[in-house]
Structure 1
Amino acid sequence: MSHKRNPKRKAVIAAGGVAALGAAALLLPNAMASQDGASDAAAPKTLKAADATNLATQLQNLLGDSFAGSYYDSDSKQLVVNVVDVSGDKNNVVVQAEKAGAKVRQVENSTAELSAAAQTLKTKATIPGTAWAVDPRTNKILVTADTTVTGAKWNRLESTVQGLGSGMATIKKSAGTFKTFVSGGDAIFGGGARCSLGFNVTASDGSPAFLTAGHCGVAAEQWSDAQNGQPIATVDQAVFPGDGDFSLVKYDDATTQAPSDVNIGGGQTVQILQAAEATVGAQVFRMGSTTGLHDGQVLGLDATVNYPEGTVTGLIQTDVCAEPGDSGGSLFTRDGGAVGLTSGGSGDCTAGGETFFQPVTTALTATGATLGAAGAGAGDQAGAGDQAGAGDQAGAGAGDQAGGGDAVGGAADPSGAADPSATADPSATADPSGAADPSGAADQNAAGQYAGQTSQHHKKHSR
């Protein structure tokens, strides 16, 4: 079940001081007590989203083929784990998962069955304007069709879904059209297109670089931090379409000081501390050059999206809004995890819609880069290293840094200074009245103020 949100709402990040619970402790006996101190091995633990993600990873390894997905219940703050084939084996499966602190429920569809159904959709229903992702909350595949899927195309999609069998997939129509969020005309960065910087990283050769969307990387070879400005970075690798939507872009000056933070506007930054896997049900924040800071929930994983340019696999599906120019921007969690890079979707920040993101973890693995800042003297190999067969597809260019700031990590300190020890607490997420956003991330459709702010941010750290 998706949660409806006011699409006009901007997220507000406030400082918090809650230390993250060590993942290794989650499966230990002394970690089974509830927060009030009561010892109840079968009672689900109250967890933060990041800790739930860590626990889910451990339980997936522990449960093997019985594991059928998991999600974070943001209302109860509990991890829900789906299991299949537990008859006669409850002690080895359900009890272990419950003792670890998860809420366990038995479901019909196994991970293998859902994967097979997704493969059938790929074979029979790869239609531009369609997308599908596994939704562990329903234990089904969520299939979405945009407004271009009509007539014979709709009939083909619907019959394919029905052919999967009852209880295997659901289908819904989107009010918008699936597209990548590149903006033309008033380009801020390069090649007539505007995107957003995702996260600063260190390339495998030690040089400073950043990640952004792959479709930005194939739009232009060089990018600037100001409209009509001199290029500051060149695409090294780009993947789009295909197995992802990501680019690795190296700064031309190998002495560039590229901070590991996200610029959320108003002079505030969020420190990026680690890469994080997405968890269905978890709250996430997106920063982009067009619309600034917004929040929402993860709806599905391993999503396949059939854009007009081609099919992209392995994405994260969310209900966070985005608009042209936000492509490549940061998706991050309140406790400082770098989750994704904005790919595309339907709708906008007025009507809402679905938005898909490239997982940061797979982008890092494919490019050989590591999350975090690269310091001066990190290497004079700025053009080197085509990692993992890195394609310089279509002259790949790189994500624009149109105000995106890099994401992940600590919380925004209201004093203006980033506090890496704090966790972002977006519980006061928005102001539906449309009042001034305390984060200072103003609407960037008029882009002047934000572009100037972003330009100053990057110039400050690129000398």
Structure 2
Amino acid sequence: MSHRHVNKRTGVVIGAAAAAVMGAAILLPNANASTDRPPAPRTFSASAATQLATALKSDLGGDNAAWYLDGANGHLVMNVLSKDAAERVQAKGAVARVVHNSMTALKAGTKTLRETAAVPGTAWSIDPRTNKIVVVADKTVTGAKMATLAKATRGMGAGMVTVKRSQGEFRRFDGGGMSEDPGTPPAGGDGQNGGQGANGGQGANGGQGANGGQGANGGQGANGGQGANGGQGGGQGDGGQANGGQGGGGSAAGPIGGSAIFGGNARCSLGFNVTVKGAPAFLTAGHCGNDSPTWSADQGGSQPLGSVQDSQFPKTDFAIVTYDDKSAQPQSAVDLGNGSTQQITKAAEAAVGMKVQRSGSTTGVHDGTVTGLDATVNYGNGDIVNGLIQTDVCAEPGDSGGSMFAGDSAVGLTSGGSGDCTQGGETFFQPVTDALKATGAEIGAGGGDGSGGAAAGGDQSAGGDQSGGSDQSAGGDQSAGGDQSASGDQSAGGDQSAGADQGAGSDQSAGGDALN
């Protein structure tokens, strides 16, 4: 039995075979279109991802809803609001996610929180991984304060905001310098094999420097062979050079990122050496700048560094200190806590998912990940800071102002947070790029290539005798190359500041939700 079909438009009867051919002709274009697939996602470095994301944000306009780095595979993930925008993102080799909340809506939500939930002990940031605002309430947020926060977030809806709790307490990470117990660095926390120098300096391989002469004040010989008073013993064998100079990865001759700085009764950390109109200076936290108008490399003030020229806190959190010695050539580097340094050549914007390290005078070097941007933290007493970078890197009092960096890029200045380096926690950082724009400063200071020598204050080893050969004892304090007794070893100031009992730790680091 034959099968026939009637064309309803023309009334023409056609056979089954012809109908099949016509049907195939109609379906063929759609079948061809279904074979077009977006290119496979590319793998990006943090800097390359930032460049592409910046270009895509400009191209997408209102369809952009933030982006992040997928650290597991190096993919750049762009949140978008439409299928058309997703196709444009995929064509550039990035991963596209169509989400509900626009950046306009998310920023409006943070504005609502600032206006209706200014509760001490709270922090919030935009988390592109969840496409929400993540609010963290510390252990002090109870009773009426929690009720105020809950009312504000309920009004925004569950699709816009997530509330988490921290077991610790948000505080600034500046530390007292005069009366604190030096304590013991957390096991493995500073990568220095336990050696700690006087006045907060820490000696590589367990060696101890007299009068603050290790990494906190910079002057350090390889394997613990330091010159006194922060000077640097000549003839190092592990990357350092005599006369304070340094090759890549060597030790530093003056204060660098992560070094201890002292002002009045406060101890903080140096962030990054910079230049301002050609003059040497350094960045640290604004709340540190507010603590004292002058800063030194030692607790007693015998090694003055410089004076605060601008200090901004609260709202933002940065200060710039100009060196007293205008001919000083401090290195543009960060102390890695093991006798070596990381050269810093530029500044970079933070990105959620970026892997970072932090160097500070209390806890040394720790690493982690950026978890949120445009963060607000309320430390209490009216100290509310906006526009911060949120991370899961730990820190403790005395680390304030210290360097957050990614490779050779300066990223942030330590502000404060919750927890400690025993149990972990979340820490907030002032973006370096904002501080540089506000102060007109530039990364690097004088001998940023390591060709300089003395730090401001003249802390070359005793008598300036950087004999290129060997193990000078620099006044008899140390026999270079070994684990010196360094008379009077751990004087106050190398302290582990109070606050180590905050158990924020691994609990809720804002923005740490799993990918949607």
Common fold: TM-score over 0.5: yes
Letter aligned with residue 339 of structure 2: G
Out of 102, 111, 114, which is 2:106 matched to? 114
Listed as ranges, the matches of 1:232-381 within 5 Å are 232-242=305-315, 244-309=316-381, 310-333=383-406, 335-374=407-446
Letter in 2 for 1:331: M
Moved more, 336-345 or 180-189: 180-189
Superposed CA RMSD in Å reads: 2.1
2:107, 2:338 → 1: CA distance? 44
What residue in structure 2 maps to residue 132 of structure 1?
Answer: 124
Q: What is the letter of the counterpart of residue 151 of structure 2?
A: S
Structure 1 counterpart of 2:296: 224
Aligned AA (1:72):
L
Task: Provide the rounded CA distance (Å) in 2 between the counterparts of 1:370 and 1:165.
Answer: 43
Q: CA deviation at 1:167?
A: 0.5
Identical columns (%) = 55
Runs of 4+ displaced beyond 2 Å: 93-96, 185-188, 446-452
How far apart, CA to CA, are the structure 2 residues paired with 1:139 and 1:71? 11
1:406 equivalent in structure 2: none
Which residue in 2 is equivalent to 1:400? none
Q: Which runs of 5+ in 2 are unaligned?
A: 1-36, 180-198, 200-261, 449-488, 496-516
Q: Distance in 2 between matches of 1:353 and 1:61?
A: 35
**2:41 is equivalent to residue 44 of structure 1:** yes
The within-5 A match list for 1:131-280 is 131-186=123-178, 189-203=262-276, 205-230=277-302, 231-242=304-315, 244-280=316-352
Deviation at 1:375, TM superposition (A): 5.1
Cα distance change of structure 1 residues 166 and 208 upon mapping to structure 2, 3 Å threshold: same
Q: Secondary structure at the match of 1:64?
A: helix
Distance 2:288 2:490 in 1: 18
Partner amino acid, structure 2, of 1:362: D
> Following the alignment from structure 2 to structure 1, what is the Cα–Cα distance between the partners of residues 151 and 70?
32
Rounded to whole Å, the distance in 2 between the matches of 1:447 and 1:350 is 21
Tell whether 2:38 aligns with 1:76: no
- 2:10 is aligned to none
Q: Residues 245 and 233 of structure 1: is their aligned pair in 2 closer, same or farther, counting only changes over 3 Å? A: same
Q: 2:64 maps to what in 1?
A: 67
Q: Structure 2 vs 1, CA of residues 153 and 369 (structure 1 numbering), >3 Å: closer, same or farther?
A: same
1:99 aligns with 2:103: no
Paired with 1:447 and 1:248, the residues of 2 have a C-alpha distance of: 29
User: AA paired with 2:44?
Assistant: L
AA paired with 1:330? S
C-alpha separation in 2, matches of 1:263 and 1:219: 24
**Counterpart secondary structure, 2:410:** strand
Instruction: List per-residue Cα deviations over 1:372-405 (Å, max 9, x = no partner).
Output: 12359xxxxxxxxxxxxxxxxxxxxxxxxxxxxx
- Which residue in the other structure is 2:54 paired with? 57
Please give the alpha-carbon distance, in whole angstroms, between the structure 1 residues aligned to 2:392 and 2:329. 34
Q: Find the aligned partners of 1:255 and 1:449 in 2 and give their Cα distance.
A: 30
The aligned counterpart of 1:420 is none
Residues 289 and 447 in structure 1, CA contact (< 8 A), matched pair in contact too: no
- Partners in 2 of 1:144 and 1:447 — Cα distance? 38
Give the Cα–Cα distance (whole angstroms) in 2 for the partners of residues 96 and 337 of structure 1: 30
Secondary structure of the residue that 2:49 maps to in structure 1?
A: helix
Q: Structure 1 unaligned runs (5+)?
A: 1-39, 377-445, 453-463
| Mapped contact 2:362–2:494 kept (Cα < 8 A) | no
Once the 2 structures are TM-superposed, how far is the Cα of residue 190 of structure 1 from its aligned partner?
1.4
Shift in alpha-carbon separation, 1:271–1:448, aligned structure 2, 3 A:
farther
Residue 41 (structure 1) shift? 5.4
| Residues 1:179 and 1:449: Cα distance change in structure 2 (over 3 Å) | closer
CA contact (8 A) 1:315 1:357 kept: yes
Amino acid at match of 1:134: I
Q: Quick one: structure 1 residues 147 and 251, their matched pair in 2 at CA, closer, same or farther if it must change by over 3 Å?
A: same
Distance in 2, Cα, partners of 1:45 & 1:107: 21
* 1:23-57, Cα deviation, whole Å (9 max, x unpaired): xxxxxxxxxxxxxxxxx852110112222122211
- Distance, in Å, in 2 between the alignment partners of 1:153 and 1:138 is 26
1:266 CA drift (Å): 2.5
Which of structures 1 and 2 has the bigger CA Rg?
2
The aligned counterpart of 2:462 is none
Matched residues in 2 for 1:128 and 1:266: separation?
38
The one-letter amino acid of 2:349's match is: E
1:344 and 1:330 map into 2 onto residues whose CA distance is: 13
Q: Distance in 1 between matches of 2:41 and 2:67?
A: 14
Aligned partners of 1:290 and 1:447 also within 8 Å? no
Relative to structure 1, the CA distance from residue 111 to residue 220 in structure 2 (aligned partners, 3 Å threshold; closer, same or farther) is same
CA distance in 1 between counterparts of 2:492 and 2:436 reads 31
Q: Deviations over 1:210-265 (max 9, x none)?
A: 000000000001010112023221000010001x1000110011001121111112
- Cα distance in 2 for partners of 1:115, 1:65 equals 13
Q: 1:212 to 1:66 in 2, by over 3 A?
A: same
> Which string of whole-angstrom CA distances, capped at 9 and with x for unpartnered residues, describes residues 189-210 of structure 1?
111111000000011x321000
Q: CA deviation at 1:448?
A: 5.9
**Equivalent pair of 2:174/2:398 in contact (CA under 8 Å):** yes
**Equivalent residues, number:** 337
